Amino acid sequence: MKEFFLQIVNLSTSIGLDIFLGELAVVGLVVWFWFKKGLPSFRFLYWLTGAYLILFLVQGGFYTYSTYLGWLSSPVSRYLLPPYNNWYFFSYSGFRFFLPLAVSLVAALVWWGILIILKKRSDGLWLDSSEAAVGLLTAFLVGWPNILVYWAVLFSLMVWRLAVANLRRQTDFRLAITWPMIIATLFTLALGAWLLQSVGLGVLKVVG
């Protein structure tokens, strides 16, 4: 049983489970948006965000339990576990498996708060409740510090859209943010970590 859990952990780590699930959610949004000609309700999107949060918490608990089994099988590291040591293992697991999740959630909530403010200031002209919910979901999926790449790509796409509108002398268009957020999310999930590492910002990653 111990070997089975350790093999599952190694497999999920190698395929990048969080990236796979993130891309799955975004592709689902694209399919829905394409066929339904609109976004799901904001309540469903908030529910989906909560479901992913629970899923990642379960994943953290799974990694914690697998680490416990791995340490227990070692004649040396087993003395870092209760009852020999009542705090080291839990502090290690909290920082290693749950702190990055907490930081990513805070960053996503900050972005969501900005979107809600923009929604209220524009009376829904710039974005609606569902688009703000998409912002929360996508920002949470890319996580910290990949959200920096997400913001950069999103801002670039919005500037490009405004530039095209000015060239075409469009004055009565709505600056939709849904597709730019989806594109920014897919790009970030695929290349975000590599780009941050390339420009020397990989040190911002929270690692316990």
| Whether pLDDT at 36 is above 70 | no
pLDDT tens digits, 164-195: 877 877 666 667 788 899 899 989 988 998 99
Percent of the chain with pLDDT over 70: 83
What's the mean pLDDT in 28-40?
Answer: 70
Peptide bond just before 83 cis, omega within 30 deg: yes
What's the mean pLDDT in 4-26?
Answer: 56
pLDDT tens digits, 49-67: 898 898 889 888 988 999 9
* Mean pLDDT rounded to a whole number for the chain: 83
pTM reported for the whole predicted model: 0.82
